[in-house]
Amino acid sequence: MSTASAAARWRLLWREPQVRRGLIITLLVTVVAVFGPLLAAHAPTDMVGPVYGAPSSEAWLGHDFLGHDVLSRLLAGGLSVLWMSLAAALIALLVGVSLGLAAGFSRRRLDQTIMWGADISLAFPDLILVLLIVSMLGRQPWLIVLTVSIAFIPGVIRLARGSTVAVASQEFVEVAQMMGYSRRRILFKEILPNILTPLLVHFGNMLTWGVGILSGLSFLGYGVAPPAADWGLMINENQAGLLVQPWPVLAPALMIGIFAYGTNILAEGIGRSAARIGDKQA
């Protein structure tokens, strides 16, 4: 596929309303998470009001189980969830694509070895695997990110490998081989640009799953440690007062849901647009 053809596909992709809507929602939540701490009226650990205090003009979302300002903790609590989910998805994408390309292009013993390892890893449910490793080795952020990425890598490998096998049999790849191009150039210049669309769809799905897993870990007490602000941790800490003051639970749950919705429809929009482009080309 030529560079011009690839550029045309990206333009068609951007014209998809669902892609634009999902990207806008995802970026809005990301902006809140990144710049929210600068807008918070109080530090996330400051006790500035009564326990489970009701919303007021000074605290729009009220106070939590220790008297923290809920809005301040909400603004400060999204960065950990977002950067960890983004880092885990990126690591899984880079490692999984590299292994999947190598497996799909070699189709020999290397292919069998890589896919054997991926199949074994897929036998363990993601959340169970993450909980097992974190409970044994600790809850440091870098370890949680690495563990979540390990859970995601087998799915990326299978997707990249299947897409590589389909593209590697096409004529332009055979021409590149006949011209004596190196394997690295064929993989990263000829094959990779043509399998980016399904990989981007899967990347969006991994962001959605990552936010869910990381929030679930914090809710279960295996994620970010208190007194740090974290959306999943906020839900865990304030669930006992849900009937008294629901905003410490509802606000972070809503932010998690909005981000997951944005990444989900973004991935779905990319998939639909890619299918539409394929139909036109057919």
Say what the pTM is. Answer: 0.85
Q: Which domains, and CATH codes, for the chain?
A: 78-227 (1.10.3720.10)
- Decide if pLDDT at 152 tops 90: yes
* Residue 9, pLDDT score: 63
- Decide if pLDDT at 53 tops 50: yes
What mean pLDDT is predicted for residues 189-193? 84
- Decide if pLDDT at 243 tops 50: yes
* Residue 274, pLDDT score: 66
Q: How far apart are CA 163 and CA 237, in angstroms?
A: 44
pLDDT band at residue 1 using 50, 70 and 90 as cut-offs: very low
* Residue 275, pLDDT score: 64
Q: Are 263 and 204 a contacting pair, CB within 8 Å?
A: yes
* Residue 272, pLDDT score: 76
* Residue 244, pLDDT score: 92
The more confident residue out of 140 and 180 is: 140
**Among 21, 83, 27, 89, CA closest to 266:** 21
Percent over 70 (pLDDT), the chain = 92
Residue 254 sits at φ, ψ, to 5 deg, of: -65, -40
What mean pLDDT is predicted for residues 208-213? 89
The more confident residue out of 105 and 28 is: 28
pLDDT band at residue 226 using 50, 70 and 90 as cut-offs: confident
* Residue 4, pLDDT score: 44
pLDDT, tens digit (0-9, with 9 covering 90-100), for 63-73: 999 999 999 99
Burial of 18 (0-12, 13-18, 19+ CB in 10 A): middle
The more confident residue out of 9 and 36 is: 36
* Residue 34, pLDDT score: 93
pLDDT band at residue 2 using 50, 70 and 90 as cut-offs: very low
- What residues have CB less than 8 Å from 122, skipping those under 6 apart? 154, 155, 158
What mean pLDDT is predicted for residues 112-123? 87
pLDDT, tens digit (0-9, with 9 covering 90-100), for 227-239: 888 898 999 999 9
- Decide if pLDDT at 110 tops 50: yes
